[in-house]
Amino acid sequence: MAAVLPTLIRTGAVALGSAIAGIGYAALVERNAFVLREVTMPVLTPGSTPLRVLHISDLHMLPNQHRKQAWLRELASWEPDLVVNTGDNLAHPKAVPAVVQTLSDLLSRPGVFVFGSNDYFGPRLKNPMNYLTSPDHRVRGAALPWQDLRAAFTERGWLDLTHTRREFEVAGLHIAAAGVDDPHIDRDRYDTIAGPASPAANLRLGLTHSPEPRVLDRFAADGYQLVLAGHTHGGQLCLPLYGALVTNCGLDRSRAKGASHWGANMRLHVSAGIGTSPFAPVRFCCRPEATLLTLIATPMGGRDSSSNLGRSQPTVFWRVGLYRGPQPIPELDGQRDPVDRGGRPP
């Protein structure tokens, strides 16, 4: 026993050191390793010209998060045709000015949004095991000034799609869009927007914060071509070769982030999000992200184009301390994690 004890102590020390290093990496490095993914999705009606959509979600902004704010400001330089914000912008009652100022240039572009639970209620300290053992457990924090945030967004021209159907023109394309309030806290009322989406639209777009299957099924039944969502944080803590441990909703783990099919005719894109709760400021194997979606026309005749999904040159750029510039990488639609290749921006 005396001979075994030193080995056990060394093994324990190595395990403890590895755990501390992993937590430090997840909290200090990866949580701030912001990435822009660029993905191509064939969802528009045949003959449509391409549409560039910037999908942002889950900012979970604190007033003093200057690094995150600086990175977000740079997104406007990609000049999207449309900005889609799928909620959870706030993590503090005084964060509205930080969000609005940070998104100022993007607010000058056409945009649509819905809110999530962390636009209405602040974060609270929770038992992390609840995500594994009691995913339906809800702990609401103090009320947040969502009305002020909504007013700031709409005054700049963004459309609130909460339980609303809207039709508008962007980049010469006719878009029919609708959204629901956050299903994660049972605020969704799909019946208020139910009915077939306009068949004349180049894009029939649905928005929800939490990608609950009951809501996705309704959008699919009404003929929407694409639904954008957030909420999952991509799993936030993922394992290599396994992926997300949980999605914190009814969505299966394989769809925790990225693009996928939902039913025969609808596509889903779930953002891994940009922020985290201030009470769980860690990410592992799941970098914070925004996505630049290039929407293109489906092939004539409705032929399935699965073999061509997402063939693009995605661009990744991040900020860990100093800005290091864009890095192009190959990625397929729905692929979980890109591999950095290096290179110059397009």
Q: Per DSSP, what are the bridge partners of residue 143? A: 121
Q: Residue 105 — very low, low, confident or very high, per pLDDT cuts 50/70/90? A: very high
* CATH architecture of residue range(s) 33-328: 4-Layer Sandwich (3.60)
Three-class SS of residue 299? coil
Q: What span, in angstroms and rounded, lies between the C-alpha atoms of 204 and 134?
A: 35
Q: Which residues contact 66 (CB under 8 A, 6 or more apart)?
A: none
Split at pLDDT 50, 70, 90, the class of 124 is confident
DSSP 89-143: -BSSTT-HHHHHHHTHHHHTS-EEE---HHHHB------TTHHHH-TT-----SB
The answer, yes or no, to whether residue 332 has pLDDT greater than 90, is no
Q: Which of 7, 30, 26 is nearest to 18 (CA)?
A: 26
Signed CA dihedral, 230, 231, 237, 239: sign only: negative
| Alpha carbons 88 and 271: distance in angstroms, whole number | 12
Structure tokens belonging to residue 88 = 């959870």
Question: Which of 134-143, 190-199, 329-338 is the least confident region?
Answer: 329-338
| pLDDT of amino acid 301 | 65
pLDDT band (50, 70, 90) for residue 125: confident
Given this model, what pLDDT does residue 327 score? 39
What SS3 class is residue 219?
helix
pLDDT of residue 341: 27
Does 171 have pLDDT greater than 80? yes
329 has pLDDT over 70: no
**If DSSP codes are grouped into helix, strand and coil, which group holds residue 205?**
strand
Tell whether the model's pLDDT for residue 77 goes beyond 90: yes
Within 13 Å and on the Cβ side, how many CA atoms surround 192? Answer: 13
Q: Write the DSSP string, 7-73.
A: HHHHHHHHHHHHHHHHHHIIIIIGGGB-EEEEEEEEEEPTTPPPEEEEEE----B-TT-HHHHHHHH
DSSP class of residue 236 equals S
pLDDT of residue 25: 64
- The candidate with the shortest Cα–Cα distance to 166, out of 134, 195, 205, 130, is 205
pLDDT at residue 23, as a whole number: 59
pLDDT at 346 over 80: no
- pLDDT for the residue 9: 55
Q: What is the pTM of this model?
A: 0.83
Q: Domain residues of the chain, as ranges? A: 33-328
Across all residues in the chain, what is the average pLDDT? Answer: 85
- Between CA 290 and CA 85 the distance in angstroms is 10
User: Could you give the CA distance from residue 214 to residue 189 in angstroms, rounded to a whole number?
Assistant: 11
- 210-238: average pLDDT: 98
335 three-state secondary structure? coil
For residues 145 and 173, is the Cβ–Cβ distance under 8 A?
Answer: no
* For residues 178-186, average pLDDT: 98
What does residue 341 show for φ and ψ, rounded to 5 degrees? -110, -20
What digits encode the pLDDT tens for the residues 25-64? 666 689 999 999 999 999 999 999 999 999 999 999 999 9
The single residue listed with the structure tokens 């604190």 is 62
CA distance linking residue 346 with residue 343, whole number of Å: 9
- Higher-pLDDT residue of 303 and 59 is 59
pLDDT > 60? residue 305: no
